């Protein structure tokens, strides 16, 4: 009896010490669309099983909470570590997955013969939190317990390969954050771009006649011309936003524009733009960096791309500007059965930029999707990527969208078909600075299209708690009850002009509107502020929001009129203080420059910001 008990106990110990058998077919849903095929898409047929997909597997970052804590510490002007941005290596240390996560995912890939297969072209991000590889669609279906299909967007006939749901083995759920491409359909052009053409193109001479002024070329004129109410130029923005500054630290400071969807910035159009609106910069130009097979077709200029680069460089010359052309489509051999495979572009950009030793101090992006159409796992992974850029000292700005509180039928896609305001992503990410739109000059007021509202994915960050609570107090208890998430991250954070921008496209000038104009405008102001700080021996501003809500708002023009209708309502109203239409307001560069180089202390005294070279970093571990 004793012998049997001993044998049994030894068996139990041996069993406990033996690694558990991993079941790769014990599936649990990772993400699924309740309504099946998203609106606007139709199924063409099953994905060719041999078609190779460029797959990214996101591993859970073991210290992401520590990274976010560091981000807030170096971004809070009242913290002793303000401005001590993390290095690339420090961010990578905080982004590294737990060894158990890496081991389990490698076992999973080995089970399918993918870990050391030359055909898979497996690569890892610097910190190991992303694994990229090429996998046949049929094999990926086995790994994720799903079926991939070819889908066509009915309005644009764009095709891609996606699934409406996918699973992961239960053992991997705590270790894998997202697998792409999977359930993120996105919206192909032109819906993604937050800009729109207001008038047909004219020649430069015709537009100059319309302006009716000879001093439109004065880059630093500070009298706002009446024509600026109908046609915005760099001189209008300089006058309206009190910009009178020539960049000095052009070897250290730079600005980046992220472009997607085959939108190409054109060198020839920029020269014409400068000839008409800023002759002193006529020899200025921008760099182009192509990412993930992004193109550079100079015979096909894009309205969005030209708008962005003409106004960032038009306001910041001679600061180096870089246009990032992001494709997100892997190489493929087209035939009758193989469609193009548009990959998730934000991840392509983040993969590239976070791997660079030097990154622009300011980055602007003018694209977005309805938040509810972006899978939460994907949104969180992308948002964390922007947090990493902020931690490294880059100010990341996004346009807030052009549909007010929501466009279309404003129905939820969770199977309940409730009417609800529709927030925009990545504008709703708490680690970016979101820019709404205004128009007019006397007074400046909220543009009717200015996107704004509250996230359903991301909770309200502490930096805006008081400002948002104050706004909600103006609404009353019954206004729009149930139409928005009052505890969510509120956006936009700031605003800038968004109508009547004069943009050269294909040699002609168009009047262009949208928060796509607002984001590059505010980004240009931030870039000039970064130049002023760097020239004074100070670090770049980095993640702006904690500073904006505690001190930066003192250098903004509060917008108190206008609203952003949508979803069959008048939307929110612009009020004193923060509001989900124009945020904290539009820039006054002169005041902002004083704030970023100096600061007002208790008692009204002004002192210089302290400088910490960060040579000793005992706080990082």
Q: Which residues are catalytic?
A: 304, 308, 516
Please work out, in degrees rounded to the nearest 5, the angle formed at the alpha carbon of residue 468 by the alpha carbons of 467 and 470.
70
**Distance separating alpha carbons of residues 21 and 12, to the nearest angstrom:** 16
User: 335: which residues sit within 8 A by CB, 6+ positions away?
Assistant: none
CB of 593 within 8 A of CB of 248? Answer: no
Torsion angle of the four alpha carbons 84, 87, 91, 96, in this order, in degrees rounded to the nearest 10: -140
Number of Cβ within 10 Å of residue 451's Cβ equals: 35
DSSP state at residue 48:
P
CB of 307 within 8 A of CB of 503? Answer: yes
**Distance separating alpha carbons of residues 316 and 319, to the nearest angstrom:** 6
**Bridge partner list, 327:** none
- Nearest-CA neighbor of 472 among 453, 458, 455, 459? 453
Number of Cβ within 10 Å of residue 259's Cβ equals: 27
**Distance separating alpha carbons of residues 59 and 27, to the nearest angstrom:** 18
**Distance separating alpha carbons of residues 601 and 594, to the nearest angstrom:** 13
**Distance separating alpha carbons of residues 584 and 435, to the nearest angstrom:** 10
CB of 346 within 8 A of CB of 310? Answer: no
Cα 402 to its chain centre, rounded Å, is: 15
Q: Please count the residues of the chain.
A: 621
- Nearest-CA neighbor of 545 among 401, 397, 425? 397
**Bridge partner list, 324:** 258, 289
Please give the full DSSP string across 400-455, using - where no structure is assigned. --SSTT--TT-B-SSSS--B----EETTT-TTSEEEEEEE-STT-EE-TT---EEE
Q: CA 539 → CA 18, 90, 252, 527, 536, distances in Å?
A: 53, 17, 11, 12, 9
């Amino acid at each position: 009896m004793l012998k049997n008990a001993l044998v049994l106990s030894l068996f139990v110990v041996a069993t406990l010490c033996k690694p558990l058998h991993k079941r790769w077919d014990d599936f649990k849903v990772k993400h699924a669309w309740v309504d099946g095929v998203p609106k606007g898409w139709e199924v063409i047929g099953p994905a060719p099983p041999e078609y190779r997909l460029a797959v990214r597997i996101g591993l859970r970052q073991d210290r992401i909470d520590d990274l976010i804590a560091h981000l807030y510490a170096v971004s809070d002007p009242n913290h002793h570590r303000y401005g001590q941005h993390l290095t690339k290596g420090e961010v990578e240390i905080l982004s590294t997955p737990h060894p158990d996560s890496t081991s389990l995912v490698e076992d999973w890939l080995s089970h399918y013969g993918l870990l050391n297969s030359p055909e898979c072209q497996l690569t890892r991000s610097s910190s190991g939190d992303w694994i990229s590889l090429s996998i046949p669609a049929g094999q990926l279906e086995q790994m994720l317990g799903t079926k991939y299909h070819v889908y066509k967007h009915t309005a644009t006939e764009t095709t891609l390969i996606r699934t409406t749901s996918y699973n992961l083995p239960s053992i991997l759920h705590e270790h894998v954050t997202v697998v792409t491409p999977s359930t993120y359909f996105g919206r192909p052009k032109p819906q993604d771009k937050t800009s729109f053409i207001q008038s047909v193109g004219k020649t430069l001479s015709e537009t100059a006649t319309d302006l009716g002024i000879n001093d439109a070329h004065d880059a630093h004129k500070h009298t706002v011309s009446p024509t600026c109410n109908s046609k915005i130029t760099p001189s209008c923005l300089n006058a309206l936003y009190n910009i009178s500054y020539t960049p000095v630290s052009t070897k250290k400071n730079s600005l980046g524009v992220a472009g997607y969807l085959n939108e190409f910035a054109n060198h020839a159009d920029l020269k014409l733009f400068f000839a008409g609106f800023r002759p002193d910069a006529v020899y200025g130009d921008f760099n182009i960096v192509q990412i993930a097979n992004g193109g550079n077709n100079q015979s096909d200029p894009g309205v969005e791309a030209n708008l962005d680069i003409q106004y960032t460089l038009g306001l910041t010359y001679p600061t180096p500007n870089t246009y990032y052309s992001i494709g997100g489509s892997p190489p493929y051999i087209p035939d009758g059965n193989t469609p193009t495979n548009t990959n998730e572009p934000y991840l392509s950009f983040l993969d590239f930029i976070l791997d660079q030793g030097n990154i622009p101090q300011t980055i602007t992006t003018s694209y977005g999707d309805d938040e509810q159409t972006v899978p939460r796992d994907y949104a969180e992974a992308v948002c964390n990527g922007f947090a990493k850029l902020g931690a490294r000292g880059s100010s990341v700005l996004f346009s807030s969208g052009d549909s007010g509180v929501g466009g279309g039928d404003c129905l939820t896609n969770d199977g309940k078909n409730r009417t609800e305001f529709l927030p925009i992503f990545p504008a709703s990410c708490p680690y970016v600075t979101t820019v709404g739109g205004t128009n007019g000059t006397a007074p400046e007021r909220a543009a009717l299209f200015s996107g704004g509202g509250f996230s359903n994915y991301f909770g309200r960050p502490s930096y805006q708690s008081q400002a948002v609570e104050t706004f909600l107090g103006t609404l009353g208890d019954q206004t729009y009850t149930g139409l928005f998430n009052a505890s969510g991250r509120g956006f936009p954070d700031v605003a800038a002009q968004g109508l009547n921008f004069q943009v050269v496209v294909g040699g002609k000038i168009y009047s262009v509107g949208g928060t796509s104009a607002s984001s590059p405008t505010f980004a240009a102001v931030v870039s000039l502020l970064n130049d002023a700080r760097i020239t004074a021996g100070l670090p770049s501003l980095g993640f702006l929001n904690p500073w904006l809500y505690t001190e930066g708002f003192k250098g903004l023009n509060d917008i108190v009129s206008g609203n952003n209708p949508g979803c069959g309502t008048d939307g929110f109203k612009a009020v004193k203080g923060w509001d989900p239409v124009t945020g904290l307001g539009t820039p006054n560069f002169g005041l902002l420059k004083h704030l970023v180089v100096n600061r007002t202390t208790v008692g009204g005294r002004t002192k210089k910001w302290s400088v910490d070279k960060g040579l000793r970093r005992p706080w990082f571990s």
